[in-house]
Amino acid sequence: MAHPLIPQILNLAAPVAESLGLEVVAAVFHTNQSPPVLRVDVRNKQDDTGLEDCEQMSRALEAALDEAEMIPEAYVLEVSSPGVPRSLTTDREFISFRGFPAIISTSAPHHGQTEWMGSLIKRDEKAVYLNLKGRTIAIPRDLVDSVLLAEGEE
- For residue 136, give every residue at least 6 positions away whose Cβ sits within 8 Å of its Cβ, in sequence order, or none: 121, 129, 130
Provide the residue type at 95 as one letter. Answer: I
Q: Is the peptide bond before 72 cis (omega within 30 degrees of 0)?
A: no
pLDDT at 96: 81
For position 91, what pLDDT does the model report? 85
**Pure H helices in 1-154:** 6-19, 51-68, 91-96
pLDDT digits (tens, 9 = 90+) for 47-75: 888 889 999 999 999 999 999 999 989 99
Q: Which of 61, 62, 76 lies closest to 30 in space, CA to CA?
A: 76
Q: For residue 19, what are the contacts with CB-CB under 8 A and spacing of at least 6?
A: 60
Residue 4 reports pLDDT greater than 50: yes
Stretch 110-121: mean pLDDT: 93
Residue 87 confidence (pLDDT): 80
User: For the CA atoms of 45, 48, 52, 56, what is the dihedral angle to 10 degrees?
Assistant: 20
Amino acid identity for residue 23 in this structure: E
Q: In order of start, what are the domains of the chain with their CATH numbers?
A: 6-80 (3.30.300.70), 91-149 (2.30.30.100)
What tens digit of pLDDT does each residue of 81-90 get?
A: 876 557 888 8
| Spatial CA neighbour of 57 closest among 14, 111, 11, 120 | 14
Name the pLDDT band for 152 (thresholds 50, 70, 90): very low
Q: What DSSP letter does each residue of 86-106 carry, written as one string? A: -B--SHHHHHHTTTSEEEEEE
